[in-house]
Amino acid sequence: MKESKVLIVDDEPRNVKLLSAYLKADGFDPIQAYNGEEAIRLAKSENPDVILLDIMMPNMDGFEVTARLKTEKKTKLIPIVLVTSLDGANNRTKGLNVGADEFLTKPINRSELIARVRALQRLKQMHEELQNRKNIVSALSDVDFLNPEYQNTILLIEDDNLLSRQIVTVLSSVGINCSVAHNTVSAKDHLKEHSPDLILMDRILPDGDGMDLLAEIKQYEDHRDIPIIVITAITDLELKILGLEKGADDYLIKPIENTELRARVKAGIRRHHAIKNLKINLEKAQSCTVTDKLTGVRNRYYLDADLNHRIAQVNRSPEKTLSLLMIDIDNFKAINDTFGHLIGDKILCIVAEQLSLIARAADIVTRYGGEEFCIVLPETNIDEAYAVAERMRENMENYEFPDIGGKKITISAGAAEYSINDQTVTALLTRADDALYKAKSMGRNRVCKGKKASPQE
């Protein structure tokens, strides 16, 4: 996995050096800039995962840099953390209104810095992956992408009636609809029926710890992308870091200032709508042209476009990695001959479903043809790809297939990592296919790594 790039912007070299040391020690790749113009140039050329941006700089302050980055197509998705020695809700509100995602106050606590950067790194990579997939399917189809209008709805989980009324009144004045739950039980009941754009949640609830509820909400696929802002009177830094690690997106410290409340909630809803739009349009396009009708995974048409797109990205950015798995159902012809094609089709669907279940969020499962599947693994080296394939193989070996009298179904897999020497999609596919052939010739039900690409290939 490549190191994540973090752009550090501060006109004071000592501050840049300190933050760089913190980040490098935790496996990040720090990039340094000392003024606003340099920050904008590096953000466009380096596409960092996160930007740490000082507010107080000469000529162009952090607010102006943020506003310019958020209006540029190439940089608008990069999360920005404003770093400041300034205090007060007015500065936080101003930052949120121009597009900042988070704040850190000097002197910076190392643990909080790493927790916030990791959380925003995950957000950026998810958004970027969704955008990648949308670009690919839009190139393959004539689908008109939607930009739906949403009602701005939030769930407020708060047992203090006075604070609840304050929050509902303030947010209602800017067109945000609030549903109120006074404890964890009513909050869970609400989430069974509704999917709000954002959750505002008190840290301490009458029937449970808000951190436990936060972790539970994030476990469910339908609610995983909903931003959660934790309301608390506790200023303990370790508890804030714990919340970020469990999936909190932001904090509001009591007593809550109304302008900051509005700004933080609107910023959270704005990010949620952007991700929701990408997912809706991606699903629409996939269902039109790029889905295998039998198994429901991507088809060969999509695979070719996806690989060409990703290989071009790796060639432009050599620090990126890309791997491929070729997977074949062992002895599938004998299964069809023994049990018939209807059962064979059912097995294909189950295998596709199980491969997708083990695949990670960014992996692309496709049906290559017949009983063969191909899986694209972005930002993955050969050893990581082998580990994914081995988990898939073990899962299939232990799966109890219906309608075949207890017979075991196994798979074989070949893994290959893209190299600049591959030059073409076909060369990478061939190396993965050769590794698959080796796995089958060695007795099936195994994974083999492909040979490295040579300059002659």
C-alpha closest to that of 434 among 420, 421, 452: 452
pLDDT tens-place string over residues 352-389: 999 999 998 889 999 999 999 999 999 999 999 999 99
pLDDT tens-place string over residues 401-457: 988 888 899 999 999 999 887 878 888 999 999 999 999 999 999 999 998 876 654
pLDDT at residue 148 in the model? 60
- Does 142 reside within a domain? no
Residue 269 near residue 277, CB atoms below 8 Å: no
295 and 279, same domain (yes or no): no
32 and 108, same domain (yes or no): yes
- Does 454 reside within a domain? no
Domain boundary among 259, 286, 313: 286
273 and 305, same domain (yes or no): no
The total of structural domains in the chain comes to 3
- Does 148 reside within a domain? no
Which residues form the domain of 110? 5-124
Percent of the chain with pLDDT over 90: 53
Tell me whether residue 371 is one of the annotated catalytic residues: yes
Alpha carbons 366 and 355: distance in angstroms, whole number:
10
* CATH number of the domain within which 272 lies: 3.40.50.2300
pLDDT at residue 1 in the model? 46
436 and 315, same domain (yes or no): yes
Instruction: Please give the single-letter amino acid code of residue 374.
Output: C
Buried-state track 136-146, b at ≥16 Cβ within 10 A, e below 16: bbeebbeeeee
Phi, psi of 187 (to 5 degrees): -65, -45
Residue 376 near residue 361, CB atoms below 8 Å: no
* CATH number of the domain within which 408 lies: 3.30.70.270
Which of the four pLDDT bands, split at 50, 70 and 90, describes residue 225? confident
C-alpha closest to that of 136 among 429, 428, 376: 376
Entry pTM? 0.55
- Does 379 reside within a domain? yes
For residue 146, pLDDT over 60 is answered with no
Q: Which of 158, 371, 379, 417 is catalytic?
A: 371
pLDDT tens-place string over residues 249-274: 888 888 888 888 998 898 888 888 88
- Does 409 reside within a domain? yes
Alpha carbons 270 and 124: distance in angstroms, whole number:
14
For residue 280, pLDDT over 80 is answered with no
